[in-house]
Amino acid sequence: MTADDSLWQLAPTYTLKTLELFNWGGFNGPHQATIDVGGTAIVGPTGSGKTTLIDALMTLLTSNPKYNLASTGGLESDRDLVSYVRGVSGPGDGGADQSHIARPGKTVTAISATLHNGESTACLAAILWFDDSNSSPTDMKKLWLFSTSPEQNLNLWLTVQHEGGMRALRQLDKSNTGIWTYTAKKSFLARIRDFFEVRENAFNLLNRAAGLKQLNSIDEIFRELVLDDTAQFDRAKEVANSFDDLAAIHEELDIARRQQRSLEPVKSTWDKVQKNETELSQKNHLYELVSPWFGEQGYKIWLAEYERLRGEYQQAHANQERSEEAYHAQIQSRDNLKEHYLKLGGSDIQVLEALIAEKQQNVNRIERSASEYQRLVANLAMPPELTREKLQANQTHAQSQVEALKQELGKAETDVFDQGVAERDASQSLRELQQELSDIQQRPRSNIPGKFQHFRQALAEELNLSEDDLPFVAELIQVKEGDQDWRGAIERAIGSHRLRILVPPSEINRALNWINKRHNQLHVRILEVNTHDKTARFLADGFTHKLDFKTHDYRETVKHLVARIDRHCVTDSEQLKTTEHAITMQGLMSGKARFFDKQDQKRLQDDWLTGFDNQDRLAFLTQKCNDQAHIQTEAKNLLQHAKSTQTKLNQRQALLG
């Protein structure tokens, strides 16, 4: 055995491991066949897809695969790539007219073969798709993939195709290693043959062998693809090339025949054009004759109509002259009668009649005004007598009431505005409390106000961490059950540290950079988590002994934080006076000697933030919502009363005005 033979035997051999299909032929959706290296038999009834499975592998290995050879006896292919992509079934069982297309519209097909040699993996794949209902091979988009990276797989490629199409798939080999994409199958097969170090005939032999049903044909295939002297192929290629000119001539003749066939409709159309032009010429001649004929007929008709209208006009003119003579006679008679009337004293009678009409109009107007006046003074509880003295007295009284009403109306308008502002503020506060209550209910493990939790959520998304990895200090401590009387004082002692967010050291730079660049609309407090070699030391009588610390990775950091702000717990102000850094149960705190503080901006039982759950916060917000709802109802009632008063005053002012 030679050295080369030893190396050949030691070289690892790639074997087929899995074959994956997606929308291939009759296989709808994803399917996978696992191949055993010891031997695998594909069995099943006719039409179950055995040959379809083999044809998928042949599609990846040969340039022009012969499909369905097992069904045709290994002689000729009766299927094509489009039929497998579209899922065509039925041809051969009743003719093409009875075929069924499983995927007629937009569709995607993918096939993949994975090979393994014990050390590394190689994957061959193809993704084929139609963007519409066309079934022409030229409309089908193809991409061939070859990968040696175990991270690349068919599911990933299908997802990339769905999200970005051909452009996204072609970007894979630019942004990843161990994968190559090809739009031309020739380049793809050349890459495969170079990788597996085989000749092209090896895959063709495999394709032909896959369709064998009779063993007596294997010698012919083996002789054609393996044993024949390939040196004769070069001569055959030269002979074939000599026919290129004949092929070009044949193509030109074929084009000429197609042009002749395409011009046949032009000839028949030209005959029709000539016939139509003749008919058009005749129609134009008739059209030229029609106009004079219609003109003659119209002249006769309108001449008769003219004679008729002329006679009627002459008759009407005679009637008009007679009417004008009668009209002038009536005018003369009227003037004569008027002159006779004036001579008898008619001008004085007209003057008196006009004066009577004017006086009657004044009487009617005064009566209407008097009636309106009596109605108004009756509504204002004033005397209704129509005398000068009563009128002057009523005017004086009304003027004084108008001045008083202006003052009351101004006060009413102020009340309406103030109550409207109060009702609006109460409604806004109630909505904010209800929103915060809703936020707290969604986070049952924290008493922290909603706006701070929203900020913590945004920070967690930026750092790609969970909210549990960014706890608030208040979420990791709570006052022991037996020391609840000290709860309010301890909350004040810890103060704003309760809202401090704990950030792991690995993320502190990113967190600070993100917080620094944005307007956070909050007082943001951050504490970097640190490892502590020593246990936190608490004051012997400090409030820290009244705390429970939640089991958490940051527990020691929280202990060291509260240890730095620990205070002595004293019983009264006398003891506080002599003890530095102490606190009473009522929240009075001492600093250095002679310095004392009590932060009573809020009640001692308000705004508790510590605790391992949100029950305290829920109870506090529920009570505040109820109180605010009561305030809102009272504000609405007061606003309604103020508006009612304003309406009444406006009505009374209108009466006095």
In 523-566, the DSSP E strands lie at 526-528, 547-549
Q: In what order do the strands lie in the sheet with 107-116?
A: 27-34, 15-24, 107-116, 121-130, 141-147, 179-182
pLDDT for position 260? 78
* Beta carbons within 10 angstroms of residue 52's beta carbon: 19
Between the CA of residue 613 and those of 99, 503, 578, what are the distances in Å? 66, 21, 37
pLDDT for position 473? 94
Specify whether the CB–CB gap between 157 and 145 falls below 8 A.
yes
Task: Name every residue whose Cβ is closer than 8 Å to that of residue 300 and which is 6 or more positions away in sequence.
Answer: none
Burial 414-445 (b: 16+ CB within 10 A, else e): ebbeebeebbeebbebbeebeebbebbeebee
| Residue 473: burial class (beta carbons within 10 Å; 0-12, 13-18, 19+) | buried
Specify whether the CB–CB gap between 397 and 382 falls below 8 A.
yes
Burial 69-80 (b: 16+ CB within 10 A, else e): bebbebeebebe
Over 70: is that where the pLDDT of 10 sits? no
In 456-602, the DSSP E strands lie at 477-479, 501-503, 526-528, 547-549, 568-569, 582-583, 589-590, 596-597
pLDDT for position 2? 43
Most confident of 11-25, 408-422, 443-457: 11-25
Over 80: is that where the pLDDT of 469 sits? yes
pLDDT tens for each residue of 194-246: 888 887 777 777 776 665 544 444 455 555 555 444 545 555 565 556 566 66
Over 70: is that where the pLDDT of 75 sits? no
What's the pLDDT band for 493 if we cut at 50, 70, 90? Answer: very high
Q: What are phi and psi of 182, to 5 degrees?
A: -140, 135
pLDDT tens for each residue of 553-595: 999 999 999 999 999 999 999 999 999 999 999 999 999 888 9
pLDDT above 70 covers what percent of the chain? 80
Distance of CA 260 to the CA centre of its chain: 56
Structure tokens at 401: 């009431």
Local structure of 520: helix, strand or coil: coil
Alpha-helix runs per DSSP H in 565-614: 573-577
Specify whether the CB–CB gap between 504 and 529 falls below 8 A.
yes
Angle (deg, nearest 10), helices 200-210 and 50-61: 170
Between the CA of residue 46 and those of 40, 52, 179, what are the distances in Å? 18, 11, 37
Over 70: is that where the pLDDT of 598 sits? yes
pLDDT tens for each residue of 418-435: 777 777 877 777 676 667
Q: Name residue 147's beta-bridge partners.
A: 123, 179
Structure tokens at 75: 């002689």
Predicted TM-score (pTM) of this structure: 0.36
Structure tokens at 435: 């929103």
Q: Name residue 549's beta-bridge partners.
A: 477
Please, how many CA atoms are within 13 Å of residue 532, restricted to the half-sphere of its CB?
Answer: 16
Rounded Cα distance, 17 and 490, in Å:
67
Average pLDDT value for the chain = 81
Rounded Cα distance, 25 and 89, in Å:
8
pLDDT for position 251? 74
Tokens 């005959």 map to which residue? Answer: 271
Of 524, 572, 588, 530, the C-alpha closest to 555 is 530
What's the pLDDT band for 479 if we cut at 50, 70, 90? Answer: very high
What's the pLDDT band for 288 if we cut at 50, 70, 90? Answer: confident
Of 28-37, 46-55, 489-498, 613-622, the poorest mean pLDDT is in 613-622
pLDDT for position 225? 52
Rounded Cα distance, 610 and 617, in Å:
9
Rounded Cα distance, 108 and 102, in Å:
12
Over 70: is that where the pLDDT of 254 sits? yes
Of 90-94, 512-516, 557-561, the poorest mean pLDDT is in 90-94
Task: Name every residue whose Cβ is closer than 8 Å to that of residue 111 and which is 6 or more positions away in sequence.
Answer: 19, 20, 21, 22, 24, 56, 57, 59, 60, 125, 126
Rounded Cα distance, 175 and 167, in Å:
13
Rounded Cα distance, 406 and 441, in Å:
52
What's the pLDDT band for 645 if we cut at 50, 70, 90? Answer: confident
pLDDT for position 5? 47
Average pLDDT value for residue range 329-356: 77
Rounded Cα distance, 492 and 591, in Å:
14
Please, how many CA atoms are within 13 Å of residue 35, restricted to the half-sphere of its CB?
Answer: 15
pLDDT for position 125? 95
pLDDT for position 449? 86
Alpha-helix runs per DSSP H in 344-387: 346-379
Task: Name every residue whose Cβ is closer than 8 Å to that of residue 157 and which is 6 or more positions away in sequence.
Answer: 110, 125, 127, 145, 169, 172
Of 108, 194, 107, 105, the C-alpha closest to 148 is 194
Average pLDDT value for residue range 480-500: 91
Local structure of 479: helix, strand or coil: strand
pLDDT tens for each residue of 24-38: 988 999 999 999 888
Could you please report the per-residue DSSP string of 169-194? HHTHHHHSSSEEEESSHHHHHHHHHH
Between the CA of residue 24 and those of 59, 128, 197, 290, 442, what are the distances in Å? 11, 10, 29, 73, 48
Average pLDDT value for residue range 360-380: 75
Average pLDDT value for residue range 363-390: 74
